[in-house]
């Protein structure tokens, strides 16, 4: 949920201390228009900017499409009306938030569609490789496009990574964190070799992360987990792009996680028009 403090920081960054550019009198209408096709997202954030500026009835959001909606070039995704000064002050922030989030949603939808060509059950997930201050916006964009948000922060799941294993050993690390975690908290263990996947599951992992393995090695790891009849979630991750999704979906993993959904998605092109 966006807070007033977040919206204030966005506006303060853009408006500054003495905004002369937007000292425009009177009333107007505004509309956010897509200049290319994609998947809309971040419109809750864009609308919140105008609603914040329009407290006291100065600006009203009159219409917007739902996040997750497929849109085409020329589609109007948000309409506002009210004081020209406030609408113009919110314009760039709203465009930036919606453009970035819609780019994330569009990239996510492409990855989900690619996975569905192979297996309807494979989940496409994002990671914690998000922009500081914008994690909520980016995670909601992933969810709007049919992706999985993965853990939202460090408290949502224990991730036993290579550094933990290097310090304590795989089995000791899993036992160490199992003692400290709630019964409701899952433990995920990162492995870099197929042979370590059954070890991690046997040690008590709920999720085994097959990290930076090419598809062939990933499939080998999944086969070893299944042959050992180990009931765990298998997740592939590490430098995976939309072009790789089909190959990883075919390996038998349950989840394909992709940092590129949030850290490399290009913004969707929007323009804001008044009058």
Annotated catalytic residues are 92, 129, 161, 190, 211
Contact 32, 46 (CB under 8 A): yes
Q: Are strands 123-125 and 255-257 parallel, antiparallel or unpaired?
A: parallel
76-83: strand order across its sheet: 59-64, 76-83, 27-34, 270-274
Q: Give strand pairing partners of 148.
A: 125
- The span from the CA of 31 to the CA of 120, in Å, is 37
> Which structure tokens are listed for 43?
């419109």
């Amino acid at each position: 949920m966006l807070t007033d403090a977040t919206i204030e920081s966005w506006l303060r960054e853009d408006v500054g201390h003495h905004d002369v550019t937007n000292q425009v009198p009177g009333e107007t209408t505004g509309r956010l228009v897509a200049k290319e096709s994609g998947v809309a997202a971040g419109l809750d954030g864009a609308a919140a900017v105008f609603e914040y500026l329009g407290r006291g009835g100065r600006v009203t959001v009159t219409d917007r499409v739902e996040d997750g909606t497929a849109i085409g070039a020329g589609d109007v995704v948000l309409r506002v009306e009210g004081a020209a000064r406030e609408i113009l002050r919110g314009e760039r922030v709203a465009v930036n938030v919606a453009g970035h989030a819609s780019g994330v949603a569009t990239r996510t939808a492409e990855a989900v569609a690619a996975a569905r060509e192979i297996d309807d059950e494979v989940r496409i997930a994002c990671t914690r490789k998000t922009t500081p201050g914008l994690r909520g916006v980016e995670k909601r964009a992933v969810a709007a496009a049919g992706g999985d948000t993965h853990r939202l922060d460090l408290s949502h799941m224990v991730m036993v990574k290579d550094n933990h294993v290097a310090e304590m050993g795989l089995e000791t690390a899993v036992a160490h964190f199992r003692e400290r975690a709630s019964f409701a908290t899952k433990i995920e263990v990162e492995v870099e070799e197929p042979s370590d996947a059954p070890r991690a599951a046997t040690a008590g992992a709920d999720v085994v992360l097959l990290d930076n393995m090419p598809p062939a090695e990933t499939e080998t790891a999944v086969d070893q987990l299944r042959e050992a009849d180990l009931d765990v979630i298998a997740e592939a991750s590490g430098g995976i792009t939309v072009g790789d999704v089909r190959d990883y979906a075919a390996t038998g993993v349950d989840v394909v996680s992709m940092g590129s959904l949030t850290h490399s998605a290009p913004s969707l092109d929007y323009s804001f028009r008044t009058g």
